[in-house]
Amino acid sequence: MRSSDGPEFDPVGALRLLTERRVEFVLIGGFAARLLGSPSVTFDLDICYARHDGNLDRLAAVLQELHAELRGAPRGLSLILDAKTLHAGDHFTFDTLLGPLDVLGVPAGTDGYEDLARTALRTDLGGFEVLVSSIDDLIRMKRAAGRPKDRVELEILGALRDELDLQGSERVQRKRPC
């Protein structure tokens, strides 16, 4: 899949690299919603990363490996992509060799990685696992962000949550003895 004006979008490749390099993160945003069953299409990858020093070092190394550049920044802007830079900021939007990657320390409506990791779903992506934000946390983040595109997605995520709740209650009913 190719984004409109960037490199080939390979979210699974980016997630695999982050996982192989032991970066602690929770997958959030449109790709997380897609893995949970949303029909919405996304052309970027969003993660919430743990903000401790070792993880910032590992995340910076992956971003360097992916030749990450700040999206929308003037060409040639000098950015030292290291743990110190990541620690000084919170939200970064990058263009990488594998497509757009947004890394957020504390997404709107949350307290960050630990908050989201508590209810995240461990999801197998074909040989490796990632933590995927729960549907309720995705809804909480969209509500807090409040952008017009988020309000539209709230309708979709709400319907998806209802569907997932119904499927869960049907499974429980089938398991009950007669």
Q: What is the torsional sign of CA 127, 24, 105, 151?
A: positive
pTM attached to this predicted model: 0.88
Residue 2 has pLDDT above 50, yes or no: no
Q: What is the torsional sign of CA 26, 9, 44, 157?
A: negative
5 compared with 10, residue with greater pLDDT = 10
The class that CATH gives domain 11-175 is: alpha beta
Contact between 83 and 60 (Cβ < 8 Å): yes
Residue 164 has pLDDT above 50, yes or no: yes
34 compared with 165, residue with greater pLDDT = 34
Residue 175 has pLDDT above 60, yes or no: no
Domain residue spans of the chain: 11-175
pLDDT in tens, 43-73: 999 999 999 999 999 999 999 999 999 998 8
- What is the rounded CA–CA span in Å between residue 148 and residue 140? 15
Cα of first residue to Cα of last residue in the chain, in angstroms, is: 48
Mean pLDDT taken over the chain: 90
- What is the rounded CA–CA span in Å between residue 96 and residue 94? 6
List, in order, residues 6 or more apart from 124 with CB less than 8 Å away. none
pLDDT band at 178 (very low <50, low <70, confident <90, very high): very low
pLDDT in tens, 89-144: 999 999 999 999 999 999 999 999 999 999 999 999 999 999 999 999 999 999 99
Q: Map residue 54 onto helix, strand or coil.
A: helix
pLDDT band at 5 (very low <50, low <70, confident <90, very high): low
- C-alpha 148, offset from chain centre: 19
pLDDT band at 177 (very low <50, low <70, confident <90, very high): very low
Q: What is the pLDDT of residue 136?
A: 96
Q: Residues of 51-63 as b/e, b for ≥16 C-beta within 10 angstroms?
A: beeebbebbbebb
